[in-house]
Chain A
Amino acid sequence: QQPVQSPQAVILREGEDAVINCSSSKALYSVHWYRQKHGEAPVFLMILLKGGEQKGHEKISASFNEKKQQSSLYLTASQLSYSGTYFCGIVTSGTYKYIFGTGTRLKVLA
């Protein structure tokens, strides 16, 4: 079952902040965040593991609430280059499958 992302779409002005949420109905082992620009392949942003370990890019931060099976991606001081579709991907406990959400379209305007 795919994780649910919210919002489905968001429009920002440069410099504004955004939060994208990802919620799962299954127990999570890890949460992954990717950004995809139109016509391109997804690009890795962040991975968060059960237990608190995380790895990602400097200007992106995220949280992982293991009890609620939720993750949030925080985009601060957004830039035009942040535009794209953001996907969360989950790996549930006991499996090695990746299951991606349906995406959040983010548009940053000048």
Chain B
Amino acid sequence: EAQVTQNPRYLITVTGKKLTVTCSQNMNHEYMSWYRQDPGLGLRQIYYSMNVEVTDKGDVPEGYKVSRKEKRNFPLILESPSPNQTSLYFCASSFGTGGRVGGEQFFGPGTRLTVL
């Protein structure tokens, strides 16, 4: 089954404790992206990756890191989480970039993160 998986689905942590949220897709998509969703603000892009070893900042990259060492995986790293990073996080992937018809994004199920 074609899908995007994220782990963990729920996470409660404390300020400053490094964490990684994994994201994996099995559709051989080039483009992968991380979003955070907060009430009233919609989906905001954190980072995106055009392909292996190619990443770039979205609109809200502060406090986050990403890497793309393999085509299928795109982990999100919070080196020193803070309470303002409490949010619902979605990973997404697409065949092409937004400018191509194949730019339809497939979203993972989401990770609800709480930083105390």
Contact surface of A with B, Cβ cutoff 8 Å: 2, 29-30, 32, 34, 40-44, 47, 49, 53, 55, 87, 89, 91, 96-103
Can you list, as one digit per residue, whether each of B45-69 has a CB less than 8 Å from chain A (1) or not (0)? 1001010000010110000000000
Complex CA gap A102/B42 in Å reads: 4
> Considering residues A34, A96, A97, A101, which has the most beta carbons from chain B within 10 angstroms of its beta carbon?
A96
Determine if A44 and B99 form an interchain contact, defined as CB atoms under 8 angstroms apart: no
Contact surface of B with A, Cβ cutoff 8 Å: 31, 33, 35, 40-45, 48, 50, 56, 58-59, 90, 97-101, 103-110
**CB-CB under 8 A for A44 and B101, given A89-B43, A96-B56:** no
Complex CA gap A30/B109 in Å reads: 25
Determine if B103 and A91 form an interchain contact, defined as CB atoms under 8 angstroms apart: yes
Other contacts beyond A42-B90, A103-B42: 15, CB < 8 A: A2-B42, A41-B90, A41-B107, A44-B106, A47-B104, A49-B100, A53-B101, A55-B101, A89-B43, A96-B56, A96-B99, A97-B56, A97-B58, A98-B98, A99-B45
Complex CA gap A35/B116 in Å reads: 31
Determine if B43 and A96 form an interchain contact, defined as CB atoms under 8 angstroms apart: no
Complex CA gap A12/B111 in Å reads: 31
Complex CA gap A41/B109 in Å reads: 5
Within 8 Å CB of B45, what residues of A?
Answer: 97-100
Determine if A100 and B98 form an interchain contact, defined as CB atoms under 8 angstroms apart: no
Determine if A97 and B90 form an interchain contact, defined as CB atoms under 8 angstroms apart: no
Binding site of A, secondary structure by majority: helix, strand, loop or mixed? Answer: strand
Q: For A43, give the chain B residue with the smallest CB separation.
A: B107
Q: For B4, give the chain A residue with the smallest CB separation.
A: A41
Determine if A96 and B97 form an interchain contact, defined as CB atoms under 8 angstroms apart: yes
8 Å CB contact of B104 from A44, A53, A99: A44
Determine if A91 and B59 form an interchain contact, defined as CB atoms under 8 angstroms apart: no
A8 to chain B minimum Cβ distance, whole angstroms, is 10
**CB-CB under 8 A for A98 and B33, given A44-B105, A89-B43:** yes
Within 8 Å CB of B41, what residues of A?
Answer: 102
Within 8 Å CB of A96, what residues of B?
Answer: 31, 48, 50, 56, 97-99
Within 8 Å CB of B108, what residues of A?
Answer: 41
